[in-house]
Every structure is written in C-alpha cells, then in structure tokens.
Amino acid sequence: MQKYNWKQKGRWLLLLALAPVMWLACNKGFERVLPPGENSDTTSAVSKRPKVLMVVLDGARGQSVRDLNSINISALTEHAIYSWNAISDADINGYTTWADILTGVTKDKHSVYGTDLTNTNLNNFPVFFKYIKQRQPSTRIAAYTTVGEIGSKLITDADDNRAFINDDDAATEAALGELKNDSAGIVMIQYSDMNTKGKQFGFDLSVPQYRAALEKADDNLGALLSAVRQRKTYKQEKWLVVVMSSHGGPFAIAPEEDDHTILSNPNVNNFILFYTEDYLPSFIDKPYTGNRYAGKGLHLSGDAANAVYATIDNSRNYDIDEKSGLTIELKIKVMPGVNGDYTYSNTAILSKRASLDAGEIGWAIVLNQKGWQVNVGRNAPGKTDNVVVNGADISDGNWHDVAAVIVTDSASGARTLKTYTDGKPNNSGDLTGSGNLNSTAPLRLGYLPYAGSYPAPDAYVTEVKIFLEDATDQNIADYACQTSMPTSHPLYTKLLGYWPARDGQGASLKDQSTLLTDFTVHGSFSWINFDNLICPASPNNIAQTMPQSIDVSRQVMDWMQVAIDPAWNLDGKVWTTRYVSMINN
C-alpha cells in the first residue's frame, strides 16, 4: 500500500488558503505611464530590442516645466534620471544648442555659431545618427522637426526626415504614424511653439500663452507615450524616452534665487529626463553653490575727488617684517566698474604704501582685470621694483575670501609671498633679498591716490584680518568661508587687527582684536545691506555636475548598445541610476 503523504497535503492546503491574498497582492500597485514588461527568469530571458523616443521642447525653461507639474512629464519622473537645472549653451537664438544635442560636442568643435550654418565642422563632428547607422545599418531613424533648417541643414542619416514649419500638431501626427511602424527604432520630434510664445510674450508660467504651449506639448507627449505602449511588439522591446528642452529663455528671477552662477541664467536653464520603466528615480538637484552671507557693509566707491575710504595712521605694525611671517586676509564683493563690467586696472583695495609706483616700499592688495593680486614695492640694491603675485578671478558679484601670506625662513632669510582665493592656493612669488619693507604710509582701505591712479573701486570689504604669522594652507582652507572670527582660530593670539567692517553706522570700523585700533572712514560714505553667496563654486565644476545638452547623444547611443569610438572625441557623458530589479532581487 502507498503511504499517504500528509506533509505534502498540508502544503497544498496552505497554498490554496493563501491564493486569494497572493492574487490581491499581485494586482495591487499604480498604473505606470509605460507599464513594465513581463518578468522572466534571467537564465532564460529573451533580449529585448532597444528603442528610443526623443522629444525636444524648444524654449521650455526647466524651472517652468518643473513648476507646471504636468500630467505626463511629471509621471515619467517616477522611473527616470532627470533634472530641472540642466545646462544648454548660452547662444539661444540660433542653432548652436541644437548642434550640441545632435553632435554630442560643443561649438568649439562643431563650429555652429548662431544662425550661420555655412562654415561648420559637422563633417568631423556629425549628427550622432551617422554613428548609429555605421554600427547598426538596420536601425530605422525618423526625425520630425518644426524649424526648417534643423531638418535640412543639421539632421542627416535619418530614414525619414521631414519638417512641418511651426506646426507642432503635424509633427505629432507624423511621429504617431512612425510609431505604428514595426521597424521604428529611433523617433525624434521637435516642438517649437514654447519658444515662439516665449519670444513673443515671455518665458514663464505666469504668461498664459507660454503656459498653454507647455501644456499642449505635454498632451502631445501623452499621445506619443500611448502610441509606444500600444505597439504590437511592445513586450519584446525596451524603450528609452528622452524628454528635454533645447534651452530656456530670458526671465527676471527673484534676487534671492540668483547665485551668480550659470545655474541662475534663465537662458541656459533647460531640463533633461531619461525614462525607462526599469529605472529607479534619480533626481539631479542643483549642487552646492556657496553659503549665504548677509549684513551691512561700507560701500567703497568714488574717485580722486570724492572717494570713500578708511585709514589707520602711524600703523607700522602692519608692515612686512624682515624676520616674521605675515598674513593679510579679507572678504570682498566687487561691483561692475565705470566701464560696466568687472575689469579694473591696478586699483588698490587694501594697502600699506604711499603709491603703486615701482620702488615705493610697502604692500597693496589690488584689483586688476577681473581678478586680484598682491603688489609689493621694494627698494633694495638691484631690486627697485614691484613684485606682483596674482590671485584668482572674482568677477561674479559674489563674496570671495582673498588672502596673502608672507612666509619668512629665519634661518636662510628666504621670503615667499603666496596668494589664496576662497581657501584655495593660487600663486607664489619670491621676496628674498627685498630688504626692509617698512612704510610710513597709513594702512588704507579703499582708494589709493597716486600719479596716474585709476578711479576708486566699487566694492564692499569685510572681515579684514592681519596676523603677525604666516598661516598654513590648512589654516586658510578651514576658515576662508566662515563669516566671523572665532577665538578657536589657530592664529587668534597673533592678530594685529580684526575689523569685521559690518558696523552698519558711524564713521569708524571697529577693531575687535586686543589692539583696538579703529579705521576712520572718509568721504560721503553709506552703509548698504547685502545678501549674497560667499565662496561660490567654480562655474566649470557646476556645469560638470549637471546634465548638459551634449550628454543626450551619448545616452542614446549607450542605450542602443553602440560602442563609443574614442576617435569621435565626444564631450558628453552617460548618466546612470539603479534599476528596479536591484531592489526586487
């Protein structure tokens, strides 16, 4: 007789009891814009064919698209790599931004400037469709544009390339027809109504015409997504959906939102979204751009006749001693000069010398061109000249910390002058053999008149510190972006003077060191409120942390499994995120 397996029976009864619960759990969840494909055992899964839908909205400012909270674009963010602060080229009134998208390189390489398409370098840096066709000749590419020259003079190597001038609806119909084609591989569509309305009425959601154009584009996107989902072969395909803007548009943003970096330029503020159903959401936010620095500062301005400046007389304590180190540090916000930009020429901002003439002994921190420098005058045998050591560019309207450090080796007599901006080393110069650098001139904040002198600076200076010791690189880096002088500073006991210069009223700048030597303010001065960034991030570093138009072609080719040839010399990069399967396994 066969033995009855009660254990096996118990298992079946348990499965039958749990079946309704399991069914409910499997049918729970939300409806995706593009529903996920069927899950399979990875050991037997059939490779799906990669496809791309690429939708470009001309003139859709990233912040406006974010605030619109549209139905379709917003829904895609649940499975996308995306940013509302992507960066385009600043030339928004021509084809440069489109060449960036289509070639994957900047204008320095493709040579598309403005509307001039006669002397380009597109032969050496072609539209990325060419690379796909070289590697995958059977991949069908279709492009539907609403600006004639994008299709006729930029786009190449597309199997179907048609322009519907200023007609977003007609371009949509053409793309919907292409998506019914079984062999569709890459479908690109360009909309221009946002850009047209933005130029005519304004690039912001507060403008009804601009908002309506964005909403219409989102509706068109919804129709395109539905067409993808309804393809007969959809379950055998894996779709990357790229939705982006070519550029933003002019709009006056609120002052508190302006960090004086490229991320506050509405013209280059576009958005980029890479969607596929298997992506986990990855939002790329604006990077750190610096701390806010607020207060009330003395406005240094004027010229020889009416300059605003401040002095401390009989101030030999602040000279460069032959045997001691010295550190001079201050925070400065430079305003545009008389020529309308930030370019200055040998304009002293803090000095301990009578003039900047060669051989006039002493030191001065000087604004020159768009940066700053230290100018040391010496008058020793064979060395009657100025030693000039440059700092860095500070021409962005933000606050910066600048520091000069004189390092003296008491044993050898060697002296070195080093400069720092926002805590980072800049340059150095040799002061060895310079002799006595003491000057009887007062310590002077602001305009320094002398023969051939230039107009006074238009600037604010705060947190002036002078230490009778050379600060280390680490000392400078640790405290450069702090907005006060803590007693924990390692050189606190070496202070020769500390003037926060945020008194807010009166005709003096109080010294908060133990020496209590105040500056006296001269001229028709005023105290002005300020609220800006301090130690802002480098513009180049910021651009590299955000998606850019040049990244799109790399992203698409990576999705299409097209190996990138280094000889193509592309500028863009591929953005990655985790996949849903990573958290389900």
H, E, C per residue of 391-460: EEECCCCCEEEEEEEEEECCCCCCEEEEEEECCEEEEEEECCCCCCECCCCCEEEECCCCCCCCCCCCEE
Q: Are strands 184-191 and 49-57 parallel, antiparallel or unpaired?
A: parallel
Architecture of the structural domain at 292-534: Sandwich (2.60)
Rg, the chain, Cα only: 32
Cα 425 to chain centroid distance, Å, stands at: 22
Give start-end residues of each CATH 3.40.720.10 domain in the chain. Answer: 81-287+538-584
Q: How many CA atoms lie within 13 A of 398 on its CB side?
A: 27
> How far is residue 190's CA from residue 101's CA, in Å, rounded to a whole number?
12
Name the nearest CA neighbour of 311 among 519, 460, 524, 523: 519
Supply the DSSP symbol for 139.
Answer: -
Tell me the pTM: 0.62
Give start-end residues of each CATH 2.60.120.200 domain in the chain. Answer: 292-534
Q: Are strands 495-499 and 459-467 parallel, antiparallel or unpaired?
A: antiparallel
Non-local (6+) Cβ contacts of 331 within 8 A are 293, 399, 400, 401, 402, 461, 462, 463, 483, 534
> How far is residue 159's CA from residue 171's CA, in Å, rounded to a whole number?
16
Q: Is residue 305 within 8 Å of residue 447, measured between CB atoms?
A: no
Architecture of the structural domain at 81-287+538-584: 3-Layer(aba) Sandwich (3.40)
Q: Is residue 379 within 8 Å of residue 438, measured between CB atoms?
A: no
> How far is residue 6's CA from residue 470's CA, in Å, rounded to a whole number?
86
- For 297, the 3-state DSSP assignment is strand
- Counted residue by residue, the chain has a size of 585
Non-local (6+) Cβ contacts of 123 within 8 A are none
Supply the DSSP symbol for 568.
Answer: G
> How far is residue 476's CA from residue 402's CA, in Å, rounded to a whole number?
9
Name the nearest CA neighbour of 299 among 532, 520, 454, 524: 524
How many CB atoms lie under 10 A from the CB of residue 305?
7
Q: Is residue 172 within 8 Å of residue 224, measured between CB atoms?
A: yes
Q: Which pLDDT tens digits describe the chain residue by residue (585 residues)? A: 444 343 344 444 434 444 443 333 333 332 345 555 443 333 334 589 999 999 999 999 999 999 999 999 999 999 999 999 999 998 898 999 999 999 999 999 999 998 888 889 999 999 999 999 999 999 999 999 999 899 999 999 999 999 999 999 999 999 999 999 999 999 999 999 999 999 999 999 999 999 999 999 999 999 999 999 999 999 999 999 999 999 999 988 887 677 767 788 899 999 999 999 999 999 988 776 667 788 899 999 887 778 999 999 877 789 988 788 999 999 999 988 666 678 888 889 999 999 998 889 999 999 998 999 999 999 888 788 899 999 999 988 889 999 999 999 888 889 999 999 999 999 999 999 888 899 999 999 998 887 666 677 899 999 999 999 999 999 999 999 888 888 999 999 999 999 999 998 899 999 999 999 999 999 999 999 988 778 876 655 677 778 999 999 999 999 999 999 999 999 999 998 887 765 554
